């Protein structure tokens, strides 16, 4: 179980700076203390911790001007990389920048993290000469707009939402929007006012549709991540309703809950996977959906 916190106590900051030094300074034989700078006193810090309080990932935001935020000192513990923690830190820091009225965020990146930030919607604006200086940093920039509020693969998510609204018109009628994608979790939201019944709660059928589309969307994005192709079809689905939905519903599906093997697609065979979605009314889970999906492989040309 992981949590995003703002370090405040001396013990939390000790773990925070230790991870920063171990990942960003120790490999370059830099001494303790070099991991801190003058902006730490005025910066906004975020840290992901596990159940024991150990630091898993960290990052800092400071402001160069009222319009410009800068993310620095991003680091993930090597044994926890690939779990989406870096995306979660970027999301939290971008959210602060938006709330404070910044119009854009900049990040300096070495070669090994450049691809990660581009996947998070940042554009390369100043390329460093890493041939002459391997430790030189590129500068990236992200203009903060409503369209790119999605942290990871925002361009893919926009294409997916446009596809839903064009090919599945009921998704637009229901007011379904992609809220967030982290590479590990996919979150959608629907408008209660467009799906309300005579009791003032959400139609059961609308909850089912939102849950199904959320699983479908996560599977679609995972196929793109793995450079696989195929048509996604729901083969069977079951949902359990615990409580009525009285507020704007949120649906969340996690990659870790996906059961099945997509590798059959590389051999021209169909793949079968099971995915799950939880529906939330505020912060309370009120329904759970499980769906079996078939990905129909593209037929190879004769």
Residues 166 and 288 in one domain: yes
Last residue of a domain, one of 143, 164, 181: 143
Same domain, residue pair 100 and 7: yes
How is residue 298 written in tokens? Answer: 């593209």
Q: With pLDDT > 70 as the criterion, what percentage of the chain qualifies? A: 99
Q: Helices 154-167 and 204-225 sit at what angle, rounded to 10 degrees?
A: 130
Q: Does 53 have pLDDT greater than 70?
A: yes
- Quick one: which of 98, 83, 84 has its CA closest to 44? 98
Nearest to 87 by CA among 168, 182, 20, 19: 182
Examine the domain organization and report whether 162 and 50 are in the same domain.
Answer: no
Is residue 149 a part of any domain in this protein?
A: no
pLDDT of residue 1: 80
pLDDT of residue 301: 40
Q: Is residue 77 part of a domain?
A: yes
Window from 106-120, 273-287, 288-302 with minimum mean pLDDT: 288-302
Q: Are residues 138 and 172 in the same domain?
A: no
- Residue 59 CA to residue 88 CA, distance in Å, equals 10
In this prediction, residue 300 has a pLDDT band, given cuts at 50, 70 and 90, of: low
Is residue 92 very low, low, confident or very high in pLDDT (cuts 50, 70, 90)? very high
- The pLDDT value recorded for residue 146 is 79
- Please tell me whether residues 70 and 133 are part of one structural domain: yes
Cβ contacts of residue 133 below 8 Å, gap of 6+? none
Cα–Cα distance, 60 to 73 (Å, whole number) = 6
Query: What does the DSSP 8-state code read for residue 191?
Result: -
Is there a single domain that holds both residue 87 and residue 203?
Answer: no
CATH number at residue 201: 3.10.129.10
Do 166 and 254 belong together in one domain?
A: yes
Q: Is the pLDDT of residue 199 over 80?
A: yes
Q: How confident is the model at residue 276 (pLDDT cuts 50, 70, 90)?
A: very high
Measured CA to CA, the distance from residue 105 to residue 176 in angstroms comes to 28
| Domain shared by 137 and 176, yes or no | no
Domain closes at, from 143, 173, 189 = 143
Mean residue pLDDT across the chain: 94
Q: Is 248 exposed, middle or buried (0-12, 13-18, 19+ CB in 10 A)?
A: middle
Average pLDDT over residues 6-24: 97
Model confidence over 116-137: pLDDT tens digits? 999 999 999 999 988 888 888 9
* Whether residues 44 and 132 fall in one domain: yes
Closest CA to 156 of 243, 230, 223: 223
- Average pLDDT, stretch 155-183? 94
Overall number of domains in the chain: 2
293 with 166, same domain: the answer is: yes
Residue 35 CA from chain centroid, whole number: 27
Distances (CA, A) of 175 to 137, 200, 223, 249: 42, 17, 25, 11
- Which pLDDT value is given to residue 302? 35
302 part of a folded domain = no
- pLDDT score for 131: 86
Coil vs helix vs strand at 266: helix
Enclosing domain of residue 100: 3-143
How large is the C-alpha radius of gyration of the chain?
A: 21
Q: Is the pLDDT of residue 87 over 90?
A: yes
Contact 69, 100 (CB under 8 A): yes
- Domain membership of residue 199 (yes or no) is yes
């Amino acid at each position: 179980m992981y949590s995003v916190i703002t370090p405040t106590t001396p013990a939390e900051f000790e773990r925070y700076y230790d991870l920063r030094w171990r990942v960003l300074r120790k490999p370059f034989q830099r001494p303790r203390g070099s991991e801190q700078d003058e902006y730490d006193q005025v910066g906004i810090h975020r840290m992901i911790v596990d159940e024991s309080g150990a630091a898993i990932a960290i990052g800092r935001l400071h402001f160069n001007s009222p319009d410009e935020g800068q993310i620095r000192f991003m680091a993930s513990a090597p044994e926890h990389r690939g779990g989406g923690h870096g995306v979660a830190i970027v999301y939290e820091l971008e959210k602060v920048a938006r709330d404070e009225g910044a119009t854009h965020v900049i990040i300096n990146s070495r070669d090994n993290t450049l691809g990660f930030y581009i996947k998070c919607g940042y554009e390369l604006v100043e390329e460093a000469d890493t041939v002459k200086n391997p430790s030189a940093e590129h500068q990236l920039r992200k203009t903060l707009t409503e369209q790119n509020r999605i942290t990871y693969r925002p361009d893919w998510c926009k294409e997916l939402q446009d596809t839903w609204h064009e090919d599945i018109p009921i998704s637009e009628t229901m007011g379904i929007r992609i809220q967030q994608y982290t590479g590990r979790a996919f979150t959608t939201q629907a408008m209660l006012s467009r799906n309300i019944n005579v009791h003032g709660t959400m139609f059961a059928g609308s909850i089912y549709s939102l849950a199904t589309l959320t699983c479908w969307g996560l599977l679609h994005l995972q196929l793109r991540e793995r450079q696989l192709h195929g048509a996604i079809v729901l083969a069977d689905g079951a949902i359990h309703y615990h409580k009525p939905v009285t507020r704007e519903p949120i649906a969340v599906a996690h990659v870790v809950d996906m059961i099945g093997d997509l590798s059959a697609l590389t051999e021209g065979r169909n793949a079968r996977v099971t995915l799950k979605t939880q529906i939330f009314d505020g912060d309370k889970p009120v329904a759970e959906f499980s769906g079996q999906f078939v990905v129909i492989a593209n037929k190879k040309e004769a």
